[in-house]
């Protein structure tokens, strides 16, 4: 198995975060939770996480009241609207310089006051690693899993630069969401599949299904 980091995370210098009047914190990534933990020692404000991995990171960082939306930004917006009331205080939305969807806009349209804080920068990788390039050229990579639309788009661009786009004819791409799958349409994959839910367990389940299909064919 090859793990290919397609983004480099750079945390900003921690600045004091004013949580006075904040009824809940919204986090859409584990990196956002890490950055928040560096910037504030407060752990009692409720934290709503986009998915289970982000929620697990929040629990590991010592946050007392954590709930997972178990999905994507849309699921997080629905969870916030169900659990919180606009009159009970503002929401603090922490994350990186690039985010998927418009979480703040959706919640503001429902009457919430949302403050967005950028606590880290996720920079795209400049090239695919030699291990991935060599693996693609040798036909040794059968599956490629993509966990976000941005990383899928970065891979598609870097595969073109490395001149290995045509090697994807031997690879099945599995995407965590339809948006991630769209970013891969320009490459000639053997097959493309989308997880039934936008989270890691569902993505791994999609991989298991394909492997079972292949075993049945054999």
At 64-120, the pLDDT tens digits run 999 999 888 899 999 999 999 999 999 999 988 877 778 999 999 999 999 999 888
Beta-carbon contacts of residue 158 (< 8 Å; ≥ 6 apart): 6, 125, 127, 128
Among 101, 99, 100, 79, smallest CA distance to 91 is for 79
Whole-angstrom Cα distance, residue 3 to residue 9?
16
- pTM here is 0.76
Measured distance CA(184)–CA(92) in Å, rounded: 33
Contact at 8 Å (CB) between 131 and 20?
no
Give 105's contacts (C-beta < 8 A, 6+ positions apart). Answer: none
d(CA 136, CA 165): 9
Task: For residues 26-46, give the mean pLDDT.
Answer: 92
- The whole-number pLDDT of residue 133 equals 97
Q: What is the mean pLDDT of residues 24-37?
A: 93
- Mean pLDDT value of segment 24-48: 92
Per-residue pLDDT band at 24 (split at 50, 70, 90): very high
What fold is seen in the domain 7-123?
Rossmann fold (3.40.50)
Instruction: Give just the sign of the alpha carbon dihedral 99, 95, 156, 204.
Output: negative
Contacts of 121 (CB under 8 A, 6+ apart): 9, 10, 12, 96, 97
**pLDDT surpasses 80 at 12:** no
Does residue 8 have a pLDDT over 90? no
Residue spans per domain, the chain: 7-123, 130-217
* pLDDT for 14 beyond 70: no
Collapse the DSSP code of 203 into the 3-class scheme (helix H, G, I; strand E, B; otherwise coil) and give the result: helix
> How would DSSP label each residue in 37-66?
HHH-----S-EEESSHHHHHHHHHTT-SSE
- Do 99 and 76 meet the contact criterion of CB atoms below 8 Å apart? no
């Amino acid at each position: 198995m090859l793990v290919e980091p397609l983004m480099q995370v750079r945390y900003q210098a921690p600045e004091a975060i004013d949580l006075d009047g904040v009824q809940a914190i919204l986090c859409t990534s584990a990196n956002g939770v890490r950055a928040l933990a560096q910037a504030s020692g407060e752990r009692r404000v409720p934290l709503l996480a986009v998915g289970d991995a982000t929620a697990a990171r929040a629990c590991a960082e010592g946050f007392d009241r954590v709930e997972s939306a178990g999905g994507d930004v849309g699921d997080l917006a629905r969870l916030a609207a169900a659990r919180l009331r606009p009159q009970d205080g503002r929401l603090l939305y922490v994350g990186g310089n690039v985010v998927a969807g418009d979480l703040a806009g959706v919640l503001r349209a429902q009457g919430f006051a949302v403050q967005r804080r950028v606590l880290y920068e996720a920079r795209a990788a400049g090239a695919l690693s030699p291990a991935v390039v060599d693996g693609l050229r040798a036909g040794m990579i059968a599956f490629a899993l993509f966990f976000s639309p941005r990383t899928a788009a970065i891979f598609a661009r870097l595969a073109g630069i490395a001149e290995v786009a045509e090697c994807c004819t031997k690879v099945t791409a599995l995407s965590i969401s339809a948006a991630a799958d769209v970013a891969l349409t320009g490459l000639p994959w053997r097959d493309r599949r989308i997880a039934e839910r936008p989270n890691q367990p569902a993505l791994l389940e999609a991989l298991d299904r394909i492997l079972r299909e292949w075993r049945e064919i054999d």
